[in-house]
Chain A
């Protein structure tokens, strides 16, 4: 069996953490669980990470950054700000079965008690906001959007999507992903008075 590099070992720990978190929830994931999942000792995990708080934060960062990267790619593939904003909404709106959104809910809950998770969720939140703000600013320059405060508009758009995502994931019987996309498009059109594609 090939020996893993420290980087590969760290990654294996984070993958195992995500597998456990998926079953048990982020808050209920312990060093013992992760060690059992890997068939190893908790000593190995302590060797690579200072605390379980750090393990959970790094695992959450790994899963959530993937979504951010995919959104960046989808946005870069569009040529107008209107199409880019629409691509963002489609990337951000969760499916009912969306596992990353459940991870976000877990992270929000745990952030109140775990500083490392709070730091990571703040960083990701800001990264998403600056992505959206960039698209809105570009739309304003190109004359597609009207907004005197793209910064506030970006925060508002993220907040409404977070709230709608919450409703999809937390009580999927009430609204669907299609509702989320349609209502958000409507809000975008109203707020930014974008020219309909």
Chain B
């Protein structure tokens, strides 16, 4: 019972960290801000986490794990590789500018040079995404949905485009509607897979 409460408190604190990072940013946030947002004492936050950097890293680990689960669930779906690529890449674009996870990632990217811990979390997350897309590309080639050879380059470029579109969407939301960003992502995916409009639609809408 005590452990469950302790565990819940710890995860309440980590949820609060994400909220505080989004509202205040790494530079200005304090442990007291986190305690206030979590509705616990500053002492309790210090009991679970010894420093502010440790707190931030722990919160990023939790968010990164969620991100990986989102992708792994799609990769495991019984659909064509093309449909799953579409879901991984377009499904992760932010729906609106207040999408918390992207604000969190943008904040984290700005810190990678200053914090080896944050750098490690972000590098691992990026490597996981590129590897998932590579796997889907190879599955698609095997299923003769499309034919590509530069799997690593394509996976890196598509991930980069998605990140760039997400940043643009988060910053320029009034000029780039969500539907346009998704259409941009889809156009690049189709172009990289060498698929025409109709072939692409057929693969996305039918199971493998």
Contact = CB atoms under 8 A, between A and B. Distances in A.
A38 interface: no
Contacts of A155: 168, 176, 184
Given A27-B25, A171-B122, A160 B157 contact: yes
B51 interface: no
B149 to A, nearest CB: 12
Interface of A is mostly: helix
Contacts of A164: 156-157, 160, 164
Contacts of A111: 171
A113 B25 contact: yes
A127 to B, nearest CB: 13
Given A106-B110, A174-B127, A166 B163 contact: yes
A156 B8 CA distance: 43
Interface string A116-148: 001001100110000000000000000000000
A60 to B, nearest CB: 13
A41 interface: no
Nearest to B181: A159
A167 B112 CA distance: 10
Interface string A154-174: 011011111110110111011
A112 B96 CA distance: 13
A33 to B, nearest CB: 11
A110 interface: yes
Given A25-B114, A171-B123, A186-B153, A159 B161 contact: yes
Contacts of B168: 125, 155, 158-159, 162
B188 interface: yes
B163 A163 contact: yes
A121 B173 CA distance: 13
Interface residues of B, number: 46
A163 B191 CA distance: 18
A76 interface: no
A173 B123 contact: yes
Contacts of B26: 27, 109
Interface string B162-193: 11110110111001100010011001100110
Contact of A109 (B25, B159, B161, B165): B25
B113 interface: yes
Contacts of B192: 187, 190
A105 interface: yes
A17 B112 CA distance: 21
B27 A25 contact: yes
A109 B106 contact: yes
16 contacts: A105-B106, A108-B110, A109-B106, A111-B171, A152-B180, A158-B164, A160-B157, A160-B188, A162-B168, A163-B167, A166-B109, A169-B109, A170-B109, A183-B153, A183-B157, A187-B192
Interface of A: 25, 27-28, 102, 105-106, 108-113, 118, 121-122, 125-126, 152, 155-156, 158-164, 166-167, 169-171, 173-175, 179, 182-184, 186-187, 190-191
Given A27-B27, A105-B109, A183-B156, 4 more contacts: A112-B107, A163-B161, A167-B159, A183-B157
